Structure 1
């Protein structure tokens, strides 16, 4: 479970964001601006991120606050799972990223697999939807839903150096490399292997 301070900061940010979107009274707007600043101060106090970066990434959105969606592609070959090595931290993750406006989850995951691994793929079915706050990820300023979509390779070849990734590989469940835990955990990878062994399992959902 995420720490209480993070839960409070995200709730304050969401309330202030909605208030700034829908309020018309100047005094209410001022109060919601103050509440947003308090959420920024909490994030600054408990993280190493600079204030301006927090304000830009965490407290700069408009409209009603909703969860962000992270879409991950799950590809197996010879009982091994496809992982890409992230340039941002040098660790390994399922190919994927933020959901893009205008694209369906299947379209997003196919695009991300191609861009990050070099493989062409076909999306098959949804395996799971997880709420990041219930899993062993580092604290995040956003409320994030993670979608895991099973895919099949249809062509292409491994691209070992792309804009975002520096290596591509297939790994057995008992020989996983160091994982980028901000993106996926060992427990989540194990859940995916369970679906490989038993394709009739229902979609897992938090």
Structure 2
């Protein structure tokens, strides 16, 4: 295995800041992979320096302290791979979408979050729906596997993320959502959406979800 290598066409039609971010992501992945397989202290030191340089680039892009980013990046080890985010999208009979208000930014998105080790994707998304909205649910289909940055989410992250969107339907009883992450829960028409959390979802993604809700035979979106 080798870390991702950017091709010239990967930089076409992107801003200078996005080009720098992609270089930083690749540099960080190379540093992590190198540290995983390096045998001597000299190589370990070199890869640690590369990781610090990646953190400096991210600091310029995000205005976060480089030391904080270096510590955050250092929590991951082993071969560098994308993280996995799962989202459960539910519609009611009036085609309103279920959204929860994030405590972290005060904005709205479908329930979801990072998949945990030992979870199946289905178990992960149903747990997130239950904990963040209070709704018991069942999965209808996986309707999209999207790469976060290709989808234009902000702010940029120092890691690659695959976003798995599941079409779900409510089942069983409804309980109170966990207050740790959720401020409020509600059903919204796509023509009257609250302020969405741009790190987690876009209006275009919700409209695509509605198309899958109307026609579950549509193929999975891959991008």
CA displacement at 1:160 relative to structure 2:
5.8
Pairing partner for 1:115 from 124, 127, 131: 131
- Corresponding residue of 2:74: 59
Over the aligned positions, Cα root-mean-square deviation in angstroms equals 1.5
How many Å separate the matches in 2 of 1:195 and 1:46?
36
Runs of 4+ in 1 over 6 A off after TM superposition: none
**Structure 2: unaligned runs, 5 residues or longer:** 1-13
Tell me what 2:20 maps to: 5
In 1, Cα distance between equivalents of 2:81 and 2:91: 32
Q: TM-score, normalised by structure 2?
A: 0.88
Q: TM-score, normalised by structure 1?
A: 0.95
Contact 1:71 1:98 in 2 (8 A): yes
Contact kept, 8 Å, 1:159 with 1:167, in 2: the verdict is no
C-alpha separation in 2, matches of 1:93 and 1:57: 25
Using CA pairs under 8 Å that are at least 6 residues apart, name the structure with larger relative contact order, 1 or 2.
1
Residues 1:28 and 2:43 aligned together? yes
What is the 5 A alignment of 1:165-204?
165-204=182-221
Equivalences, count: 206
Shift of 1:158: 5.7
**Gap regions ≥5 residues in structure 1:** none
What SS does the aligned partner of 1:63 have? coil
Q: Report how far residue 53 of structure 1 moved.
A: 2.2
Q: CA–CA distance in 2 between the matches of 1:158 and 1:173?
A: 24
After superposition, residues 47-126 of structure 1 pair within 5 angstroms as: 47-78=62-93, 79-126=95-142
Q: Do 1:13 and 1:59's aligned partners in 2 also have CA atoms closer than 8 Å?
A: no
Is 2:51–2:70's contact at 8 Å kept on the other side of the alignment? no
For 1:157, the equivalent position in structure 2 comes to: 174
Q: For residues 162-193 of structure 1, what are the alpha-carbon distances to aligned partners after superposition, in whole Å with 9 as ceiling and x for unaligned?
A: 21011101111111111001000111111111
